[in-house]
Amino acid sequence: AQKVTQAQTEISVVEKEDVTLDCVYETRDTTYYLFWYKQPPSGELVFLIRRNSFDEQNEISGRYSWNFQKSTSSFNFTITASQVVDSAVYFCALSEAQRGRSSNTGKLIFGQGTTLQVKP
Amino acid sequence: EAQVTQNPRYLITVTGKKLTVTCSQNMNHEYMSWYRQDPGLGLRQIYYSMNVEVTDKGDVPEGYKVSRKEKRNFPLILESPSPNQTSLYFCASRSHGTTLGNTIYFGEGSWLTVV
């Protein structure tokens, strides 16, 4: 079965600290996609990144960076020099791999979410 | 602008009073789905639809119905809402393709409270 685990329920940091959000996944598929979403207090889901299972290069986007390691089935997310506006719930998600068009449910499997609070 | 639009965004209703949450997308996507979000559980899929007139259950379909009569619309129906259906609901859509990495578009969410 496919599963995503975000073991950190809540993290609190002070502004300008670096913070890493952990994500561990389980899947038997060789082809899959991993995602991170941000959910600010207003509730909408903001797409941050998509990574396919064949691309293990780390990615950096401004203060955000992602470390994908297939060997440990992890896709961790780091915010450098955190800011108050980073306060949100962050979700890691895994897409089912396609096993032929008829069985493609297109489901995203989400972790439980990590609530990040950045204090001034 | 690519959009998934849900209505209502906020609703407080009473147990047993039928309600419908509408979802509409303007991207001509074949695939649409509904998720509910609950504390500590993340988002879980309720129903999905691969195309017009093709729907199927997700992980938590009990108490919900859906229909897909038109490509752009995928309403979520609660025939007899109960308090355990109090949740934040998201509609999502994406195009088909050979890969599930296609961009998934989410609506803004619908906060539903059943008292």
The per-residue pLDDT string of chain B (115 residues; one tens digit each, 9 = 90 and over) reads 889 999 999 999 999 999 999 999 999 998 899 999 999 899 999 999 988 999 999 999 999 999 999 999 999 999 999 999 999 999 999 876 545 556 788 999 999 999 9
Nearest residue of A to residue B36, measured between CA atoms: A110
Q: Which of B35, B100, B104 sits opposite A98 (nearest CB)?
A: B100
Count of Cβ atoms closer than 10 Å to residue A112 Cβ: 19
Write down the pLDDT at residue B36: 97
Write down the pLDDT at residue A105: 60
Write down the pLDDT at residue B1: 83
Write down the pLDDT at residue A58: 86
Write down the pLDDT at residue B100: 52
Write down the pLDDT at residue A101: 46
Chain B residues with CB within 8 Å of chain A CB: 31, 33, 35, 40-45, 48, 50, 56, 58-59, 88, 90, 92, 94, 96, 98-101, 103-104, 106, 108-109, 111
A44 touches chain B (CB under 8 A): yes
Helix (H, G, I), strand (E, B) or coil at A84: helix
Write down the pLDDT at residue A64: 96
**Quick check: B43 and A43 CB within 8 A?**
no
Write down the pLDDT at residue B10: 96
Residues of chain A scoring pLDDT < 70: 97-106
A112-115 contacts, C-beta under 8 A, 24 or more apart? A112/A5, A112/A6, A112/A9, A112/B40, A112/B41, A112/B42, A113/A6, A113/A39, A113/A89, A113/B42, A114/A6, A114/A8, A114/A9, A114/A10, A114/A11, A114/A21, A114/A22, A114/A89, A114/A90, A115/A9, A115/A10, A115/A11, A115/A88, A115/A89
A114 touches chain B (CB under 8 A): no
Show residues of chain A in contact with B99, CB under 8 Å. 33, 52, 98
